[in-house]
Amino acid sequence: MTDAGEVGAAGADVVVAGAGPAGRVLARECALRGLRTVLVAPRPDARWPATYGLWLDEAELLPPGAGYVVARARVLAGGERWLERAYAVLDNDSVRNALTHPDVVVRAGRVEEVTAPVIVDATGARSRGGVEQTAYGLRVPAPVAARVVRPGEVVFMDWRQPGTGPPTFLYAVPLPDGRVLLEETSLARRPGLPFAVLRERLLARLAEHGVDPGRTEAEVERVRIPLDAGASAGAGRVVRFGAAAGLVHPASGYGVADALRLAPAVAGAIATGGAVAARRVVWPARARAVHRLRRAGLRTLLTLDPDQTAEFFGLFFALPPHRQRAYLSGRDDLAGTAAAMAALFGAARWPLRRRMALRR
């Protein structure tokens, strides 16, 4: 534990705690606006261990030099459908470098007591044993995965179930190093589905495809994302940002794109109006309302059996692309989110509709 003096925060306009995607992008945006910025994390130069995916139109928010793999995405949910929006998988090292600004002072430590006028808490999600997304993945050589996913392609969701049990889907994406991540995901469950169960389901699924990752140098990725965090912007001098602020989509677990999208405006607000102004940018009233609707969507998902889950996503990805985009990426698009949910409700058969109606 290190205090502000030890981490060298004295004299800073803003101290950003946390060196994940959210902390890095916000620190850069603050420095670009001439704010004296200190970035503090226990191991600020540690590599990001997660595989980050987002839509290509969102990856394009990254600064020059940030690399990513682009792929066409398909969904299997009661049929196969190619998605209009291209997908991107981040090359973490180049993204981290691109988000590094030379004027940001980087310190190893933890922020406990600091004197800066604005302290950004970008220290990530806190798991409270609530609803979680969990996933178990294997990074394998591309030829090993070829029967599941071809080069230049992503399996965004394959809802065919590998046996009985709670619904899980396969997520398969090309990695920047040429390998492929094959990941069995439990979208939302309280508590999160254990990794051992996910591993078993992944291996059963791959066996059905004739894939034996046991024979390869597979590397494991474990994912645990709390999904039911409330909107929380901080208080006093503290501005929360990224997963620490609850900026993770409750029904998908995605959060990187919103950090990229919001960082310029949050940094601008810090520069002109301090912590109070920045908090208004992080969680304006409309975004809070959208968050509540998305959490209602999450509550519906928790009640669905495997067949209904596949039906739900089959219908969702059959919606017009602008409706899909509104629900997945429109964090303050209240009308668009409500319209997407209404369209889904209208398209559903009665048993699924009843579930959706009960959870509003």
Ligand X SMILES: Cc1cc2nc3c(=O)[nH]c(=O)nc-3n(C[C@H](O)[C@H](O)[C@H](O)COP(=O)(O)OP(=O)(O)OC[C@H]3O[C@@H](n4cnc5c(N)ncnc54)[C@H](O)[C@@H]3O)c2cc1C
- Tell which one of 4, 14, 15, 18 touches ligand X (CB under 6 A): 18
Answer yes or no whether residue 110 interacts with ligand X by CB under 6 A. yes
Question: What is the pairing mode between strands 169-174 and 238-240?
Answer: unpaired
Answer yes or no whether residue 148 interacts with ligand X by CB under 6 A. no
Q: How near is the Cβ of 318 to ligand X at its closest, in Å?
A: 23
- If the CB atoms of residues 121 and 311 are measured against ligand X, the closer one turns out to be 121
Contact criterion met (CB below 8 Å) for 50 and 117: no
Answer yes or no whether residue 50 interacts with ligand X by CB under 6 A. yes
Q: How near is the Cβ of 15 to ligand X at its closest, in Å?
A: 9
Answer yes or no whether residue 17 interacts with ligand X by CB under 6 A. yes
Q: How near is the Cβ of 83 to ligand X at its closest, in Å?
A: 16
Tokens representing 302 are 């928790």
Contact criterion met (CB below 8 Å) for 257 and 299: no
The secondary structure of residue 112, as a DSSP letter, is S
- If the CB atoms of residues 87 and 348 are measured against ligand X, the closer one turns out to be 87
Which residues share a beta bridge with 238?
Answer: 119
- If the CB atoms of residues 41 and 188 are measured against ligand X, the closer one turns out to be 41
Answer yes or no whether residue 281 interacts with ligand X by CB under 6 A. no
Contact string 117-146 vs ligand X (x = CB under 6 A): -----xxxx---------------------
Contact criterion met (CB below 8 Å) for 88 and 68: yes
- If the CB atoms of residues 251 and 356 are measured against ligand X, the closer one turns out to be 251
Answer yes or no whether residue 223 interacts with ligand X by CB under 6 A. yes
Q: How near is the Cβ of 347 to ligand X at its closest, in Å?
A: 26
Contact criterion met (CB below 8 Å) for 331 and 289: no
- If the CB atoms of residues 20 and 330 are measured against ligand X, the closer one turns out to be 20
Long-range residue pairs from 69-73, CB within 8 A, at least 24 positions apart, any chain: 69/173, 69/174, 69/175, 69/176, 71/152, 71/153, 71/154, 71/173, 71/174, 72/152, 72/153, 72/154, 73/153, 73/154, 73/155, 73/156
Answer yes or no whether residue 263 interacts with ligand X by CB under 6 A. no
Q: How near is the Cβ of 103 to ligand X at its closest, in Å?
A: 20
Question: Which region, judged by CB under 6 A, interacts with ligand X, from 229-237, 249-257, 332-340, 343-351?
Answer: 249-257
- If the CB atoms of residues 144 and 244 are measured against ligand X, the closer one turns out to be 244
Answer yes or no whether residue 243 interacts with ligand X by CB under 6 A. yes
Q: How near is the Cβ of 30 to ligand X at its closest, in Å?
A: 15
Answer yes or no whether residue 41 interacts with ligand X by CB under 6 A. yes
DSSP string, 155-199: EEEE---SSSSS--EEEEEE-TTSEEEEEEEEEEESSPPPHHHHH
Residues 167, 313: Cα–Cα separation, whole Å: 12
Nearest to 89 by CA among 73, 70, 64: 70
Answer yes or no whether residue 170 interacts with ligand X by CB under 6 A. no
Nearest to 263 by CA among 10, 2, 25: 25
- Tell which one of 3, 6, 42, 318 touches ligand X (CB under 6 A): 42
Contact criterion met (CB below 8 Å) for 264 and 30: no
Site for ligand X, rule CB under 6 A: 17-23, 40-42, 50, 52-54, 110-111, 122-125, 223-225, 242-244, 248, 253-257
